[in-house]
Amino acid sequence: MESFDAVYKQHYQDLYRYVYRYFHRREPCEDIVQETFLRLYKQHQKKGCIEYEKAWLYKVATNLSLSKLQRSKKWTLIQPGLTYDTPSVPSPDEIFEKAESSRRVFKVLAKLKKRDRVLLMLYQEKMTYKEMSEITGIKSTSVGKLLSRAFEQCARLLEEAS
């Protein structure tokens, strides 16, 4: 394993952004990402090397996020493609357009199966099929087909919502 600090610096920001899509608030995201890295540290202390660290981190973060959401009975996702640290100030028209688009996307995503929402979020994070397989427990040979179906279902529901 690379040094823990190097792994932390390499993955913290992307992992935080990924978890943020579940909660839309800083506090639970920080807690979950910190718990994820704590578990990585403990895992290395106990068993040593993890073959696919990135996939392992996302799997733990996904499981912690889904557990927390299940306990709180809340499930929301932000619109894919939004950035969270954009310094420019959008115009009121742009804000309204994004809000309307986001509402439609939120409604559609809420109609998808949990597995499909997770796959779409991992795809948004530019994960490989192998990484998605490691994170979700889905066979790597099935990830592409399930992801394709999730996109088709999402597109169909978005079209119906228009």
Q: Are residues 93 and 153 in the same domain?
A: yes
Q: Are residues 97 and 132 in the same domain?
A: yes
Averaged confidence pLDDT in the chain: 81
Q: Name the more confident of 130 and 99.
A: 130
Q: What are the tens digits of pLDDT across the range 71-90?
A: 776 544 444 444 444 345 55
Q: Are residues 88 and 52 in the same domain?
A: no
Q: Are residues 47 and 107 in the same domain?
A: no
CATH number at residue 115: 1.10.10
Q: Are residues 121 and 159 in the same domain?
A: yes
User: What's the domain range around 66?
Assistant: 1-76
pLDDT band at 16 (very low <50, low <70, confident <90, very high): very high
pTM for the model: 0.63
Domain final position from 24, 47, 76: 76
> CB neighbours of 2 closer than 8 A, spacing ≥ 6?
10
Q: Are residues 94 and 159 in the same domain?
A: yes
| Overall number of domains in the chain | 2
The pLDDT assigned to 109 comes to: 79
Q: Are residues 71 and 133 in the same domain?
A: no
CATH number at residue 70: 1.10.1740
Q: Is the pLDDT of residue 20 over 70?
A: yes
Q: What are the tens digits of pLDDT across the range 54-70?
A: 889 999 999 998 888 77
The pLDDT assigned to 88 comes to: 52
User: How far apart are the C-alpha atoms of 77 and 103, rounded to whole Å?
Assistant: 10
Compute φ and ψ for 73, nearest 5 degrees. Answer: 60, 30
Q: Are residues 86 and 153 in the same domain?
A: yes
> CB neighbours of 98 closer than 8 A, spacing ≥ 6?
79, 82, 90
Residue 82 carries which side chain, given as an amino acid letter?
L
Q: Are residues 86 and 148 in the same domain?
A: yes
